[in-house]
Structure 1
Amino acid sequence: MQTTKRLRFPIEVILVCIRWYAAYPLSYRQIEEMMEERGVCVDHSSISRWSIRFLPILEKVFRQHKRQVGTRWRMDETYIKVKGVWKYLYRAVDKEGKTIDFLLTAKRDKAAVMRCFDKAMQDNGIPEKVTMDKSGANKSAIDEINDAMDVPMLIRQVKYLNNNVEQDHRAVKRITKAMLGFKSFHAATSILAGIELMHMIRKGQLMFGGTEEMSFADQFYALAGQIHSA
């Protein structure tokens, strides 16, 4: 998988920049300054392009090495501003707080809920139990999904039981807050994939040889080393 052809900067520089951007509440200009202090002159617009280009690739590779999640899910949505308009980031975690999946959507409706469930179940199987809030879109979507199943999922629509996924949103929102909104839906989708990737690595969800002894940063670089074998 050739992703580093015709790059002006070493891949090591690119990886440092995009890791900082997706892992910490920093702006592109702040990272530009931090790199300049280290003797590397890179424009903030280059860091933006690298992030949009490479973070989704890394998140895709991560899915091949993601630890198995539990069968009791918590699903909820939070708000993300794109071009000054609020969009919806659907997120699901298991009972232990491990990330199951996520999906940015333009609307908060039945179709969005079903897309999120389909995406989550494709990689993680069918849950035994799902907890979500009492929105009509959630109820309508889950009823339709259950109607097509031989053994329906057990659904609990009790808001206070969803505290752990709401708490988990904060780790993502802490990073996006520093970004002051996204300029396009494509950019938002790409960067959020990177933010969720970093969050999952921190939660110990990366699984291949030796990661248990690695630091958070080293796990990220080890994952990047898997790109050419993906």
Structure 2
Amino acid sequence: MHRWVIKLVPLFEKAFRRHKRPVGKSWRMNETYVKVKGQWKYLYRAVDRQGNAVDFRLRAHRDKAAARRYLEKAIDQNGEPDTITVDRSGVNLAALEALNARRSTPIKVRQNKYLNNIVEQDRRAIKRIIKPMMGFKDFRCARIILSGIELNEMNASHP
């Protein structure tokens, strides 16, 4: 079963992204921790105002460069948002400021932990699924399995 998941999820993801419905223009962005080989890795996620998943990305580091790459990928695949709300994380704020420095029309950035409750609650579903797995053994496999879980959540949020 595991081998099928590793082989087929990338194909499902490619097909899903072609038919993904548009998301709202107000995003909530956050990251959460996932254990891979006994070390914490970072799953960057964003949802729109209605709670629809925008995008996700598993990164080895929690720094400005990782957050910026995540944002660039999300914007490329979903269009440019008007507003992005982040919590008090300086990393996400620095990445957004670096992104805005190169744009002619900057994205409005809000830093408020209470407005991010939507994304905080949304990650519970992912944590509930991966907790029994007790971590992942390989970064590549973790990325693929998490992508399958996220795709399932995205599909569930888009009836």
TM-score between the two structures when normalised by the length of structure 1: 0.68
Paired position in structure 2 for 1:97: 51
**How far did residue 170 of structure 1 move?**
0.5
Match of 2:123 among 169, 178, 182: 169
CA distance in 2, matches of 1:192, 1:64: 19
Which consecutive aligned stretches of 4+ in structure 1 deviate over 6 angstroms post-superposition?
A: none
User: What are the equivalent positions in structure 2 for 1:65-76 lying under 5 Å apart?
Assistant: 65-76=19-30
Of the two, which has the highest radius of gyration?
Answer: 1
Q: TM-score, normalised by structure 2?
A: 0.97
Distance 1:197 1:139 in 2: 26
Mind listing any 5+ residue stretches in structure 2 that lack a counterpart? none
Q: Secondary structure at the match of 2:115?
A: helix
The CA deviation at 1:180 is 1.3
Q: Secondary structure at the match of 1:159?
A: coil
Partner of residue 108 from structure 2, selected from 136, 154, 166? 154
State the distance in 1 between where 2:10 and 2:87 align.
Answer: 29
Where do 1:10-29 residues align within 5 Å?
Answer: none
Percent sequence identity over matched residues?
54
Aligned to 1:120: 74
2:135 to 171, 176, 181: 181
Q: CA deviation at 1:60?
A: 1.5
Residue 84 of structure 1 deviates from its aligned partner by 0.8
Q: One-letter code of the match for 2:134?
A: L
Say which structure is richer in strand: 2
Alpha-carbon offset, residue 98 of structure 1: 0.4
What displacement does 1:188 show? Answer: 0.3
Cα pair 2:86 2:93 within 8 Å, conserved? no
Distance 2:94 2:147 in 1: 27
Kept after mapping to 2: 8 A contact 1:56/1:191: no
Whether the 8 Å CA contact 2:29–2:84 is kept in 1: the answer is yes
* Alpha-carbon distance, 1:79 to partner: 0.7
Once residues 126 and 13 of structure 2 are traced to their aligned partners in structure 1, the CA distance between those partners, rounded to angstroms, is: 15
Letter of the 2:113 counterpart: K
* Structure 1 residues 9-50: Cα deviation after superposition (integer angstroms, max 9, x where no partner): xxxxxxxxxxxxxxxxxxxxxxxxxxxxxxxxxxxxxx1111
Who is 1:32 aligned against? Answer: none
